Structure 1
Amino acid sequence: MKEEQFTADESLQIIREMVAKTKHDIASDRVIYLMWGYGVAISSLLHYGFQFILDMPQNIAASVWLSMPVLGIINGVYFTRKSKKINVKTYIDRAMSSVWLSFIAALLVFLFSAPTVGWEIIYPALMVLYGIGASISGGILKFKPLIFGGAISMAIAFVAFHFSFEIQLLLLAAAIIASFIIPAHQLPRKKL
């Protein structure tokens, strides 16, 4: 078997192509953090306003959360289309997929457990979950605002365990603003 010899220019071109393929498209992460962040924050504040300011029944006020499956469908379509365009999955892409697929699985466990254990336990647990997802993602991306935002979300969760559901709705909005919205606005709009 004969080894192929490359010129210096060809070798540099191969290295440039390999580096380009390992860059992570942070712009797609930014879009997702903003979409979920604003979706959860707005739903939480609307739920609070409908139930505790306008005095609507809890089941009607909570219907604002039905927007989340719609966001899930949008998210699924977005990533399906994106994955069809990508030729190479980087280590960062695979790590981020693992983090957020695990996040979704844990989220579903918590949500389906809520009728049994109560929302006053689930909402702080969700804040911890948001914090973990943001912190791990920040570590993978080497992006400190996500790491700090995740830590703030977990600290807010600790406080939330000591308050009523009414206050937890407001704390949930604060946690998601700290862990998703603020860091997402600071994410670069280009590949890392």
Structure 2
Amino acid sequence: MSTAAAFTASFSSNSQPLPITPQELATNATDYLLWGTAVGAAAVVQATAPQLHGLPFQVAIAGAGLTAFAFHFYRGWKQPVRSGQGEAVRLLRLATWVLLAVLPALVPQLGWATVLPLMLFVLGTRTFVAGGILQHRTLIFGGAAAWVFGALAFRFSAPVDQLILLAASAAAALLVPGAMLRAATRR
């Protein structure tokens, strides 16, 4: 068999990556809703009780991280087949968790005025890239909205203003796309 024939045979239609499964879409929807609720609630609590000095973010991110880890471990264990798109979004989700865990720890060195806009950019990038991978315009627009909110957050130095922008960004970049993905899995 010639090299060209072997190469062509190895890339037949059977070796194409699988499209994303409804279970993977449901997992992504749950992840967006979980993180949107955690980050949005932490932003609102921190804005109303500034004397807590970032404790809501540490609790929310640790709680959401542990919940998401347990949920995704359980879902991954039960899922026999994975798609290429699903794996790419899973790795993106993991990278975002790491960044969201590290950013609140940088507050003593950088301050909230820098960390909050960075959180917005991280959320926006994750949502935007996942939208490109999944071909979902709602995710792409949600990610772009988070970038706009992040740019605005650099303009406001008051932490309360930045926290309001973070809560709005959590709604635009996580909660709305999560609800849209949830609706897409039910079709």
TM-score normalised over the length of structure 1: 0.80
Q: Is the 8 A contact 1:23 1:191 kept in 2?
A: no
Gaps spanning 5+ residues in structure 1: where?
1-14, 52-56
Q: Is the 8 A contact 1:33 1:184 kept in 2?
A: yes
Matched residue, 1:9: none
Matched residue, 1:44: 43
Work out the CA distance in 1 between the residues paired with 2:62 and 2:101.
Answer: 12
Q: Is the 8 A contact 1:149 1:178 kept in 2?
A: yes
CA 1:30–1:18 in structure 2 vs 1: closer, same or farther (change >3 Å)?
Answer: farther
Task: Name the aligned partner's letter for residue 46 of structure 2.
Answer: H
Work out the CA distance in 1 between the residues paired with 2:94 and 2:109.
Answer: 24
Q: Secondary structure at the match of 1:161?
A: helix
Q: Is the 8 A contact 1:26 1:191 kept in 2?
A: no
Question: Does the alignment pair 1:172 with 2:166?
Answer: yes
Task: Name the aligned partner's letter for residue 170 of structure 2.
Answer: I
* Partner residue of 2:185 out of 171, 180, 190: 190
CA 1:191–1:22 in structure 2 vs 1: closer, same or farther (change >3 Å)?
Answer: farther
The aligned length equals 170
- Displacement of 1:110 after TM fit? 2.5
Question: Does the alignment pair 1:108 with 2:101?
Answer: yes
Output the aligned Cα RMSD. 2.4
Work out the CA distance in 1 between the residues paired with 2:163 and 2:114.
Answer: 12
Q: Deviations over 1:20-79 (max 9, x none)?
A: x6432211111111111011111111111123xxxxx243xx332213212211111111
- Displacement of 1:113 after TM fit? 2.2
- Displacement of 1:191 after TM fit? 8.0
Question: Does the alignment pair 1:98 with 2:94?
Answer: no
Work out the CA distance in 2 between the residues paired with 1:46 and 1:178.
Answer: 18
- Displacement of 1:144 after TM fit? 0.3
1:48-87 to 2 correspondences below 5 Å: 48-51=47-50, 57-59=51-53, 62-65=54-57, 66-87=59-80
Q: Secondary structure at the match of 1:151?
A: helix
Q: Is the 8 A contact 2:61 2:100 kept in 1?
A: no
Q: Is the 8 A contact 1:135 1:148 kept in 2?
A: yes
* Partner residue of 1:135 out of 120, 123, 128: 128
* Partner residue of 1:123 out of 113, 116, 129: 116
Task: Name the aligned partner's letter for residue 20 of structure 2.
Answer: K
CA 1:75–1:93 in structure 2 vs 1: closer, same or farther (change >3 Å)?
Answer: same
TM-score normalised over the length of structure 2: 0.82
Work out the CA distance in 2 between the residues paired with 1:23 and 1:63.
Answer: 37
Work out the CA distance in 1 between the residues paired with 2:49 and 2:138.
Answer: 32
Percent sequence identity over aligned pairs: 24
